Amino acid sequence: MDALYLAREPAMTSVRRGLEPLIPALRRFARALARDQETADDLVQDTMVRALRAEHLFHGGDLRTWLFTILLNLDRNRRRGLARRPVLAVIEDVDPAAPPASDGTGRDIARGLAMMPPEQREVLLLVTLEGMSYREAADVQGVPIGTVMSRLSRARTMLRSHIEGERPQLRRVQ
């Protein structure tokens, strides 16, 4: 038993050593995904707990990609749970025919990100905010690299259109 534990010890300590420097990047990504500081902090904490519990399953490779995958899966599970609950929202007096006010500020970008489908927002944040390569983003999302490229292209186009004040195009169904 002691020999087995000692054989696994170096791998476990490398995971533990690698966790701390990645916390700021995980927090930044979680905040961009959740758009709420408390929820983001909970996601990062849950990611750390899961990573430490499953450190024996990490057999080398990119620790950053592994942690971002855990965080992304936790966020997707959180969103699925929220989708099952009824949403209560305040109805504001807004003229729906008027184009959204675009001032090019961070608030405008945040609104544009909020309007995106989650998969596009995730890949945009992974590539632009976290500086991941397309391959790393594909590994985190568990999709082919071509899917990452098309999601990223659609996300950039949607965000650019939102900032420039264009109304979203409706899809034609034939």
Q: How confident is the model at residue 4 (pLDDT cuts 50, 70, 90)?
A: very low
Mean pLDDT over the full length of the chain: 82
Helix (H) / strand (E) containing 124: helix 118-124
Phi, psi at residue 94, to the nearest 5°? -130, 140
pLDDT tens per residue, range 78-123: 988 887 877 666 666 554 544 555 455 556 788 888 888 999 999 9
pLDDT at 35: 87
Which of the listed CATH numbers 3.40.50.1100, 3.10.450.50, 1.10.1740.10, 3.40.50.970 matches domain 1-88? 1.10.1740.10
pLDDT of res. 15: 77
Please tell me the predicted confidence (pLDDT) of residue 88. Answer: 66
Residue 139's contacts (CB-CB under 8 Å, 6 or more residues apart) are: 62, 65, 69
* Residue that wins the pLDDT comparison between 11 and 142: 142
Cα(6)–Cα(35) distance, integer angstroms: 42
CB 125 within 8 A of CB 72: no
DSSP of 3-32, one letter per residue?
Answer: HHHHHHHHHHHHHHHHHHHHHHHHHHHHHH
What residue ranges do the domains of the chain occupy?
1-88, 96-174
CATH topology of domain 96-174: Arc Repressor Mutant, subunit A (1.10.10)
